[in-house]
Amino acid sequence: MKTNQTFLSNLKNNISKLSVSPNIFLACLSGFLLFLSFPKFGSGLFAWVALIPLFFALRNAATVLQGFLLGFVTGIVGYIGIIYWIAYVIVNYGYLPLYVGILLMLILAAYLSLYVSLFAAGIVYFRGKMPVCLVAPFLWICFEYGKSYILTGFPWANLGYSQYANIYLIQFADVAGVFGISFLIILVNAALFDMITQKTKRTNIAAVVVFFVLAGVYLYGFCRVDQVNKAVEQSPALEVSLIQGNIDQSIKWDKNFQMETLNIYERLSLNNIPSPNSLIVWPETAVPFKFEEKSSMHDKITDLAANTQSWLITGSVSYTKRNSGNEYFNSAYLVSPSGDVMDRYDKVHLVPYGEYVPLRKLLPFVEGFTSSIGDFSSGKGFYPLTMNDKKIGVLICYEGILWNAARESKNHSAELLVNITNDAWFGDTSAPFQHFSMTVFRAVETRLYLVRAANTGISGIVDPMGRIIARTSIFQQDALKGNVRFVNVPTIYSRSGDILVAISYLMIILLFVVSLKGRVLWR
């Protein structure tokens, strides 16, 4: 009891000291800059200085606990701006009051902020013992990786994703993934902070080293773009037609609108027929019925593939009969130009409270999210669809932001990535823009073309260098035609994965051991 009282007393004292301090303003400023680093409201340029105000605040933190609290302030300000759309989804599709939606969004933002808190606490712990530019990048990667995996993981808006439009920088993702880009951003933030606050010979040397590291990454990007371009030019081509039906989520599963929905996709497909033996892609669950069940609507789709002489990928709910009842999957079907169903991919990584309901008995209010189709089961693995002698890796919705999904598809011989999604849930918020921006990295990490068909947008084509070749606007019926290639360019990241993450954990352990021995690596 005394221990708890002492902790609460210390916490109260630390909060009291912070409340009258300009450090709170600096922490808030960092959070605001993190928010501005992501689309649709900001620019990736802000990320390169976003943590500097927090570092200034942490310099004045008297205790590790104060550092933890300052990190929480930064995190909560940043994440409220980044994931405010969670409240929109909960209110509009969970059918809950606005205050409940806001509360649940704040709970998630608070949870995500804990990782920034731990990062900030670590900076205070190592302060005076190690240079910030040595500790901060490794520390950030450790906690960003943890955020991406713990409790099924939430890698949304990892810092590196802010640089999706920085073409020559992101080429480094085929070596170290998106975490490598996050590492560089924190490294630059920390080096700038050290230069501003210390202005010593060692600091200047460190800044020069960081400059050469960054310059080396950009030089690698210039060279790699040229190299991959040459490989792409020698690869077999394929014409694609991406269909964006813009079906309102409120009527998507209404049986009265099934034929109307199908007619929209048929019309858009017939008006944008690619050359024979090319590919038409419809979005996630574009088919508002169970496609595997033979019916006139099923035949309408297979006849479309046959009449256009095109391969067709479409999303649909599928099921397998079990003794205990049907087991449902979020699937993608491949239909051949002869109208035959050739292959099926079942989504592997499901979204909690969007596609399955953990803790259903404890949280009955979440039923609204899956009431229309029930819980999904997870697929067996990231196995590509087979189109003649070519392999197509499919990423359904959330899987587009998962590096392992694309890596495993690549390692199973995929030569093209197809991302199908339904972003109608998000409305006209920043979420569709954030979602699309993150898929750019899957193309760079694997050096594959990525095509994306989204029900309400953004649909697009991304080349193996991460360049957005074409894209649609959101909330409009549209179709996007373009050319892609089946590419086979090996990458270090596809083969070896997150080596940088392992190095980061080892480095933090090593630095912690050194600090316990009372050694100081920086003065």
| Residues identified as active-site | 284, 347, 397
- Cβ-contact 397, 420 below 8 angstroms: yes
**Helix (H) and strand (E) counts in the chain:** 17, 12
Separation CA 402–CA 253 (nearest Å): 27
Quote the tokens at residue 440. Answer: 């750019």
**Terminal CA-CA length for the chain:** 41
Residue 359: phi and psi, rounded to 5, are 55, 40
Name the residue with tokens 């699309």: 436
Quote the tokens at residue 476. Answer: 């409009």
Strands 385-387 vs 390-396: parallel, antiparallel or unpaired: antiparallel
Separation CA 450–CA 410 (nearest Å): 12
Name the residue among 422, 93, 92 with its Cα closest to residue 288. Answer: 422
Quote the tokens at residue 137. Answer: 């990048």
How far is CA 310 from each of CA 65, 278, 284, 479, 482, rounded to the nearest angstrom?
A: 61, 5, 19, 15, 14
CA dihedral sign of residues 444, 448, 449, 455: negative
Instruction: Provide the 10 A C-beta neighbour count for residue 175.
Output: 17
- Cβ-contact 312, 304 below 8 angstroms: yes
Q: Specify burial of residue 403 (Cβ count, 10 A radius: 0-12, 13-18, 19+).
A: buried
- Cβ-contact 116, 71 below 8 angstroms: yes
The DSSP code for 383 is P
Q: Is 219 left (phi over 0), alpha (psi -120 to 50) or beta?
A: alpha
Name the residue among 117, 217, 103, 242 with its Cα closest to residue 167. Answer: 217
- Cβ-contact 396, 423 below 8 angstroms: no
Residue 7's SS3 state is helix
Quote the tokens at residue 110. Answer: 């608070």
Separation CA 210–CA 202 (nearest Å): 12
Task: List beta partners, residue 483.
Answer: 239
Separation CA 62–CA 67 (nearest Å): 8
Quote the tokens at residue 457. Answer: 């947008």
Residue 458's SS3 state is coil
**CB-based contacts of 300, cutoff 8 Å, min separation 6:** 262, 266
